[in-house]
A and B are shown apart, each in its own frame.
Chain A
Amino acid sequence: MPKKLVLISSTAALAAMILLLAACAPTYDSIADQMLVDTQKQADTGLIRLEILKTRIDDLEKSPNASDRKDLAEAEKQASYASNIDFYDKLQSSITTLDTRMTAMPDLSTPSLESALGQLRKNVDEVRGMHQKENILSADYAQESMNLLDQQFKALTVYELTIKSGSKPQ
């Protein structure tokens, strides 16, 4: 094969490879970004509410006033697993939707994101399972589980902001 032809073929192959890699590079998705923010807010709102309720329950339990019994019963009802099934259903649904959106267009980051979102889902399942088992979560459990979920959301947010800035994910 003449040298010139070899050079042209190699250049064409290289160009095709560059185009293919460019096509595989993750692109910023403002909808996924907003869904990520909304899902974190949803998780935080529910878990902060549970933390506040349990703190209130602990205070009311110490109260000598008979009139506080009714408030205690109401707070216990609101903090119970049965009263929070809707919160978990909606949060799990949001994470599934987020997963679908963030991994809909396969690219170089898809396996990493699937793994990160999988761990997030497992941790939400863990909190739900614990709530079901204990019926009322301790205030510290609600707070620390929220802190852990927030770190996971933050890592996904860093990923989104990296591609938003036009940088390649690390």
Chain B
Amino acid sequence: MPVDWGQVGTDVESAVMKVLGSSWQTVATGARPQLQAMISIGQHIETSYAAHKLTEAEYKSLRAMQKRALEGILSTYEAIGIVVAEQAADAAWNVVSAALLKAGVAFA
């Protein structure tokens, strides 16, 4: 089953909003396109992996990098504390992992 990346984007934003609470309103203008850019990169990574253009080790490395990058991006907002940024990145990644598992990606 292919991953519905449009739905993943919506679900990731909802998950991040839930963790950030009222802070989301403060950062939404800047953070929303950044989240969507991260989802787009995630989609490219999955496409490359499915096309055997990445080794298993490279795929795992990029997925680890994605989570760190998102945490780093959210950390740049003063309205978001460091711990909350980490929790929001975790929440976003749980959504992506669940979507990949549903799609049958082996290393989700």
Contacts and interface: CB of A to CB of B under 8 A. Distances in A.
Q: Tell me if A's interface is mostly helix, strand, loop or mixed.
A: helix
Contacts of A108: 78
Interface stretch (B6-14, B50-58, B91-99, B100-108): B50-58
Interface in B4-54: 26-27, 29-30, 34, 37-38, 41, 44-45, 48, 53-54
A138 interface: yes
Q: Tell me if B's interface is mostly helix, strand, loop or mixed.
A: helix
A120 interface: yes
Contact of B53 (A109, A111, A133, A138): A138
Contacts of B75: 112-113, 115-116, 119
B73 interface: yes
B76 A116 contact: yes
Residues of B in contact with A, size category: 20 to 34
A122 B64 CA distance: 10
Nearest to B71: A119
Interface of A: 108-109, 111-113, 115-120, 122-123, 126-127, 129-130, 133-134, 137-141, 144-145, 147-149, 151-152, 154-156, 158-159, 168-170
